[in-house]
Structure 1
């Protein structure tokens, strides 16, 4: 009689490998071919690209070069459909729910097959997404090394690059009071050891970026919090990161990801402007840029594209976590972006920047907890990739026809000459401006024409 452990568990047409020898040849998505571009597909055909044509050239670059799509490991391959009000709803045939290294390897094989069939060229992960923690830091790092070995092999096999990696400094109980801003120096040191290893992994895998997300860097009450001390400590941490990055020769871009709230009452990295102020205060702005997640932007009470536009305005936009949220929900729902208006607004900024490399559009998004079928994983990514392709085409047309850009420039015409030019150059004074108003009198009121701009924008959608 066959023992339970020796059986090959199956679900549908998928045969799940249970030993190392069968992993390399395993097929986890046998019913899915590489997703193709089919612009004439019917509305109900959602397993094809209707708009994303990777090789199509727009403004001198292919769609793939402009969009630089990345699949995130944590939502797509670790997400189980749980939310603050409900237990997990999603189980995958290749994941037995254990923390075994074999299960982690099987999961990674499935992930790379998925990304290859989807046609993306980048991925991203937290350290604890790909490998389980051990009984000590040394054991944990050994587990991580084993999965990094596999990642390196699979990246070469499938020609998929690492957009960025990061360290999970928020999930483990040791980080309940934060990591870089923790009041306990021992916890701070543990976070430093974890980030050191993360940077080593980034260098080894050729990561284009390394991200810091302060999941619990904030406060719940001011009664026991020394704000200045905590921010000073965080700045010192980042200075150590810069030093170690230089020491090991890691040439990836360092990114900080803002988030307004959840889980702390107030996050120190509230929004793009808060992060920029922090970086400039501590003379770190030359070493870091910002990874904007629009769902976090809306949690801060801003419009979807606000942080993207603000970061770009100061040459601080490094990458984009491409997701969205439901404004009526009030928490981080991490939905796939399907709103063409929103994707067009994002791509306006990316085109104006002449591209977002070495960053990209990372799908920090998850299928809804009710979307439990395997095909839903593909359909969600395909829909969002199509939405960004449409946004790119819209933005390119807007840029070419220049109706909005010309109208915006005309609005500031008064700063091109005379007293306006002196204001722009910073060469005037309060006294001179007072004399100017005395001579010229009351300024003429000018319409902001907001509805005009919205109407023009809608024309291109």
Structure 2
């Protein structure tokens, strides 16, 4: 045991009327919704990078957080893991997620970094054997170090491509060994700054082949989890090849991977792409590539990805409604890819940020589940599209353009617009929130 969280109790459910800030008001892991425990619906995960590796910087200033485990030694990496699992226990979190750079010190060579990774995986494996919390997914950080400044799989230097392959192989091995349920690829530098020095076709082809190699390696080692891509439009790259769900799907189709790879969708990235979170979730589900989510929010007055903890249950309810419509998570979950503010220095701040985020999501899920169970919104949706269930409409889709056009004169069609009833449905939604 460390003393970092000394005096902070384990967080338990006490109900909406509780005045105890170190308690859940809405997140009751054992509450059953739609035949499933709340914990199994939400599948919360703590992000190692923001909670334990982030130093508190922003685009205009450096480190504000002074953590006793900051440093590049294996002893400090093990101490960081001790603190991490103490937080997992306090929250009762079923999962965590990590990049390689979050859990192990960077070595002077790849061989040294790999040795450090394997050593800390030994330690994490022992931790998981004694604690409830298990690995939701692992990934390789291929965006922070200067070697990645021009990309990883899309780098113009083939030696960097090889280094990226070695990094992903090492982290897939680690994730597999730790029983991770997914492996995520986020191409933070897989894009370009200017077309003046970029062969866009070549970079895209290299990225596609790299992902094929990842899938091939998944089967070689017998990894049973899902391979996930996390879309993001820009920042840090000016234009990224994994812009949004639709772009990712087109990319997967192009390289024959639409049946092999799914998406890890982040709220903040969806907004940066000009979409809503629920749009990206609904589209991924309709395309058969919905996998997992990174839960956070942006600041509506800031122009960058602020990665704040969610605090608006009405906003998140729309997202969880789409998760329910998609059939819920299988290997995926709700990962808090969120960080405390750079002014929030105390251990209590880190705990309470997660408590608030978990309660926000639980409250959102309860509202979404009630509406989904009542079937009122789905009934309205079915009624709006009922005409497509007629034999004539089905035949029209199977026939030719000329045959569809012929219906107009043959049947004397003069369609009248029908109300979309948006305001009614918004009022219905608000009654459940």
Maintained 8 Å contact 1:36/1:48: yes
Residue among 252, 273, 277 paired with 1:279: 252
Maintained 8 Å contact 1:170/1:178: yes
Residue among 13, 34, 39 paired with 1:59: 34
Residue among 414, 433, 447 paired with 2:404: 433
1:200 to 2:156 alignment: no
Residue among 413, 417, 422 paired with 1:450: 422
The equivalent residue for 2:326 is: 353
Q: Tell me the secondary structure at the aligned position of residue 231 of structure 1.
A: helix
Residue among 361, 365, 370 paired with 1:397: 370
Give the CA RMSD over aligned residues.
1.3
Maintained 8 Å contact 1:269/1:275: yes
User: Cα distance, 1:421 vs. partner?
Assistant: 2.3
User: Cα distance, 1:113 vs. partner?
Assistant: 0.6
Deviation sequence 1:194-219 (CA, Å, 0-9, x none): 11111110111011000000010011
Taking the aligned partners of 2:17 and 2:381, their CA distance within structure 1 comes to 38
User: Cα distance, 1:82 vs. partner?
Assistant: 0.7
Taking the aligned partners of 1:298 and 1:71, their CA distance within structure 2 comes to 22
Taking the aligned partners of 2:429 and 2:63, their CA distance within structure 1 comes to 41
Deviation sequence 1:393-426 (CA, Å, 0-9, x none): 1111101211111011111111111432224xx3
The equivalent residue for 1:28 is: 4
What is the number of equivalent residue pairs in this alignment? 432
User: Cα distance, 1:42 vs. partner?
Assistant: 4.2
1:48 to 2:23 alignment: yes
1:283-322 matches, cutoff 5 A: 283-322=256-295
1:26-425 matches, cutoff 5 A: 26-42=2-18, 45-92=20-67, 94-95=68-69, 97-423=70-396
User: Cα distance, 1:278 vs. partner?
Assistant: 0.3
Maintained 8 Å contact 1:46/1:383: no
Deviation sequence 1:147-186 (CA, Å, 0-9, x none): 1111111111112110000000111111100001001100
Change (3 A) 1:375 1:230: same
The equivalent residue for 1:7 is: none
Taking the aligned partners of 1:42 and 1:286, their CA distance within structure 2 comes to 46
User: Cα distance, 1:75 vs. partner?
Assistant: 0.2
Change (3 A) 1:179 1:55: same
Taking the aligned partners of 2:195 and 2:304, their CA distance within structure 1 comes to 23
Tell me, which stretches of 5 or more residues in structure 2 are unaligned?
none
Deviation sequence 1:262-292 (CA, Å, 0-9, x none): 0111010000010011001110111100000
Maintained 8 Å contact 1:272/1:310: yes
User: Cα distance, 1:348 vs. partner?
Assistant: 1.0
> What TM-score comes out, normalization by structure 1 length?
0.91
Taking the aligned partners of 2:257 and 2:370, their CA distance within structure 1 comes to 37
Taking the aligned partners of 2:311 and 2:286, their CA distance within structure 1 comes to 25
Taking the aligned partners of 1:253 and 1:418, their CA distance within structure 2 comes to 39
Taking the aligned partners of 1:71 and 1:85, their CA distance within structure 2 comes to 26
Q: Tell me the secondary structure at the aligned position of residue 396 of structure 1.
A: helix
